[in-house]
Amino acid sequence: MPRDVNSPFTPGLPVPVEFFVGRLEEVKQLRDKAVSVLTGRLEVGFLVGERGIGKSSLASFVRYLCERDNQVLGLHTFLGGVTSLEEMVRRVFDRLLKESVGKSWHQKVRQ
């Protein structure tokens, strides 16, 4: 299906924050779910929709806000081809290490 030529979204390339407008309610809902971990609750949200409508950009923007304002680290880990729990954990942990470089908790995670 052809993509809307007026859309700033391109799959695999999240838009810059300054182009991200009009999704305040969605941002609030996702942010509330993400920061719920600070109270010990895990909440799960799903972003679904047609290719190229900005799902990755929305997730990236919320992840940025949560890290900046709430010191919550969000990770995006590709799990394609994973066939075991051990492989999934390895990939998530590897991503956590890569995202932690330069952060105050990096040495703790590394150990």
Q: How far apart are CA 97 and CA 80, in angstroms?
A: 19
* Stretch 6-23: mean pLDDT: 64
Provide the residue range defining the domain that includes 35. 1-73
Report the percentage of the chain scoring pLDDT > 90. Answer: 19
For residues 19 and 44, membership in a common domain is answered with yes
Q: What is the pTM of this model?
A: 0.66
For residues 10 and 52, membership in a common domain is answered with yes
For residues 102 and 58, membership in a common domain is answered with no
pLDDT of residue 1: 43
For residues 66 and 84, membership in a common domain is answered with no
Under a CB-based contact definition with an 8 Å cutoff, are residues 9 and 53 in contact?
yes
Per-residue pLDDT tens digits for 36-52:
988 999 888 888 888 88
Q: Which of 49, 65, 68, 61 is nearest to 1 (CA)?
A: 49
For residues 4 and 53, membership in a common domain is answered with yes
Q: How many domains does the chain fold into?
A: 2
For residues 63 and 48, membership in a common domain is answered with yes
Banded model confidence at residue 71, pLDDT cuts 50, 70, 90: confident
Q: Which of 110, 4, 14, 13 is nearest to 61 (CA)?
A: 14
For residues 105 and 54, membership in a common domain is answered with no
Residue 56 has pLDDT above 60, yes or no: yes
